[in-house]
Amino acid sequence: MKPNNDKITPKHLYMNRRKILKIGLFLSSMIALNKISLIQANEIFDRKINTFEEITNYNNFYEFGVDKTDPAKYAHKLNTSPWTVEIAGMVENPGIYSFDEIYNEMDIEERIYSLRCVEGWSMLIPWNGFQLSNLLNKVGVKDGAKYVGFETLFRPEEMHMQKTKVLQWPYSEGLRIDEAMHPLTLMATGVYGNPLPKQNGAPIRLIVPWKYGFKSIKSIAKITIQKTEPNSSWNIQNQKEYGFYSNVNPNVHHPRWSQASERYIGGEGEGFLGNLFTKRYDTKIFNGYKEVASLYDGMDLAKYY
Amino acid sequence: MLEINKIHIFISNKIRKVKLRYLYLFLTLPAILLIVELLFGKLGVDPMREIEKELGETALKLLIVTLSLSPISKLTSINFIRFRRSIGLMSFFYICLHFLTWLILDMQLRWDEVIISITKKPFILLGMISFILLIPLAITSNNYFMMKLGNAWSKLHRIVYLAIFFAGIHFLMMAKTIELNAVIYFLIILLLLSLRLVKLKKIRGLK
């Protein structure tokens, strides 16, 4: 899967992408976020946005294999059209919605987010998508709802790793309702203006930029609004290492990886040697998205990791 | 039967004639292959991680081969023992490269994080212990120390059993989920160690 950059963006725009994305970010920040996050985002912006090729060839999608290159090799087997998303539980309008129905109904915008993996690396990715809160408001969340659960499909014929037991299938994740309603929480349907590639979680996935990447579940088939804390596949696999909250936090140690810093995948330079010398940067609390801090006022973040 | 004997003698003779410097050269191939792959951009989006992992895995494989030579020699009645030092030293060479890749390219000499990683992360601690245990063995893997240490030399070199055991666990714990090749390596290590235990028991029994 070699992307053609010329198809994505006109060449002169592509070459100036950093500057243009800065302007784009400025506008989208003014509209979607508040002024505080603009400063945050600009801080994050002092690094290269990852290329389409990097974003689509370095994925954790265990349904297709445990290596970062497996999803690009095997995700084509997943049949994503037609695609439906079931919205169930404590909502006014539960039902099975087609992906097109949802996509046509929502306003799609670009959001450039840092994706921080629990393994200690990060990427900067220009997503296209809509705020999850807009969708939830459209289907109407009932009073007393506390959590949102997400599930992907169970199709072992297409996702061969589902024949093994490396994780509990189908992959599941969850958020607290206020986390789900936060304006930063995105349902991504594209990257670099293209429909979401299958290895990145086509046709629709979650992006919660202040949490470790595994919370941002891919290829969502079911959303349940509920009272109890939803299942999380990684949490079930290893409770000590993957907490329900899993907010990016340099002060909470992970048993396996240092969370104090992260390597920016893609490196600073160009070409293969540039990629070899990936620079390490200090990890920021909430991945730099400080505006979410108020969601956790009074909570012991070391206890609720 | 005669034919088998002939083949056996033929192989034994060939093996005796192999020059060890060619073996050393041959064992640099994994490193050369990595460099070639890097230059041709075959190591993917995050070449550092690939290099780090491949160097560690090569070291573990060679250490397993090192410990396999004695049971294989016994099984086949062909003496492979003369290769043991070269392969063991090359394994240590790959461990050094693996460690330096981690320290310089991965951790980027952030000493505070290096110390936290070694003290707080069990999987890194095990790798580190394994590396440190192998240092005296590498230093004494030559004729000078073999003569000088005499009986103590073989006792000292039993440390390798502990080192390979820790290295196997280090590799097992590295993955987020259970990985098949890590399990296979570990099972081979357990087999090799149990063969040694049986041997030790026999020696003690004879005494």
For residue B175, list chain A residues with Cβ-Cβ distance below 8 A: 66
Q: Is B121 on the interface with A (CB under 8 A)?
A: yes
Distance CA A21, CA A14 (A): 10
pLDDT of amino acid B176: 83
Q: Is B117 on the interface with A (CB under 8 A)?
A: yes
Average pLDDT over residues B135-143: 96
The dihedral built from the CA positions of residue A234, A240, A243 and A246, taken in this order, carries a sign that is: negative
Q: A127 Cβ partners below 8 Å, 6+ apart? A: A110, A111, A112, A113, A186, A188, A190, A191, A207
Phi, psi of A141 (to 5 degrees): -85, 130
> Which of B36, B169, B176 is the best mutation test for A, with the most CBs of A within 10 A?
B176
Distance CA A241, CA B22 (A): 46
pLDDT above 80 (res A184): yes
Backbone φ/ψ region at B78: left (φ over 0), alpha (ψ -120 to 50), beta: beta
Q: Does a cis peptide bond (omega within 30 degrees of 0) precede residue A126?
A: no
- C-alpha R_g of chain A: 18
Q: Is B73 on the interface with A (CB under 8 A)?
A: no
Question: Which range, A74-78, B17-21, B78-82, is most confident?
Answer: A74-78
Domain A47-296 has CATH 3.90.420.10: yes
Across A93-171, where does the E strand assignment appear? 95-98, 109-116, 121-131, 147-151
For residue B171, list chain A residues with Cβ-Cβ distance below 8 A: none
Q: Is B11 on the interface with A (CB under 8 A)?
A: no
A57 closest CB neighbour out of B44, B123, B176: B44
- Contact between A110 and A24 under an 8 Å Cβ cutoff? The reply is yes
Q: Provide the ipTM.
A: 0.83
Average pLDDT over residues B2-30: 86
pTM of the model: 0.84
For residue B116, list chain A residues with Cβ-Cβ distance below 8 A: 253, 258, 260
Q: Which residue has the tokens 């629709």?
A: A204
The domain locations on chain A are 47-296
Nearest CA in chain B to A122: B46
Are B46 and A277 in contact (CB < 8 Å)? no
Q: Is B207 on the interface with A (CB under 8 A)?
A: no
Distance CA B164, CA B193 (A): 9
Distance CA B58, CA A110 (A): 44
B45 closest CB neighbour out of A119, A166, A275: A275
Q: Which residue has the tokens 């000088």?
A: B148
Are A278 and B46 in contact (CB < 8 Å)? yes
- Contact between B124 and B118 under an 8 Å Cβ cutoff? The reply is yes
- Contact between A198 and A62 under an 8 Å Cβ cutoff? The reply is no
For residue A278, list chain B residues with Cβ-Cβ distance below 8 A: 46, 48
Residue with the larger pLDDT of the pair B129 and A277 = B129
A276 closest CB neighbour out of B47, B117, B179: B47
Q: Which of residues 148-167 of A touch B (CB under 8 A)?
A: 166-167
Nearest CA in chain B to A168: B177
Are A66 and B176 in contact (CB < 8 Å)? yes
pLDDT of amino acid A130: 97
The tens digit of pLDDT for each residue in A68-92 reads 999 999 999 999 999 999 999 999 9
Angle of helix B159-174 relative to helix B180-206, nearest 10 degrees, comes to 160
pLDDT of amino acid A143: 95
The tens digit of pLDDT for each residue in A127-155 reads 999 999 999 999 999 999 999 999 999 99
Are B38 and A272 in contact (CB < 8 Å)? yes
Are B110 and A277 in contact (CB < 8 Å)? no
Q: How confident is the model at residue B2 (pLDDT cuts 50, 70, 90)?
A: low
> Which of A69, A48, A66 lies closest to A58 in space, CA to CA?
A69
In this structure, what token pair is assigned to residue B172? 């097992």
pLDDT above 90 (res B29): yes
Q: Is A23 on the interface with B (CB under 8 A)?
A: no
Q: Is A256 on the interface with B (CB under 8 A)?
A: yes
Q: Is A200 on the interface with B (CB under 8 A)?
A: no
CA separation (Å) from B50 to A129, B38, B43, B132? 32, 10, 6, 23
pLDDT above 90 (res B99): yes
HSE value, Cβ hemisphere, 13 Å, CA-based, for A220: 28
Average pLDDT over residues A12-16: 46
Q: A33: helix, coil or strand? A: coil
pLDDT of amino acid A153: 94
Distance CA B118, CA B115 (A): 5
For residue A115, list chain B residues with Cβ-Cβ distance below 8 A: none
Average pLDDT over residues A166-191: 96
Q: Is B109 on the interface with A (CB under 8 A)?
A: no
The whole-angstrom distance between A251's CA and the closest CA on chain B is 12
Question: Which range, A9-13, A14-18, B37-41, B100-104, is most confident?
Answer: B100-104
- Contact between A250 and A283 under an 8 Å Cβ cutoff? The reply is yes
pLDDT of amino acid A5: 42
pLDDT of amino acid A277: 84
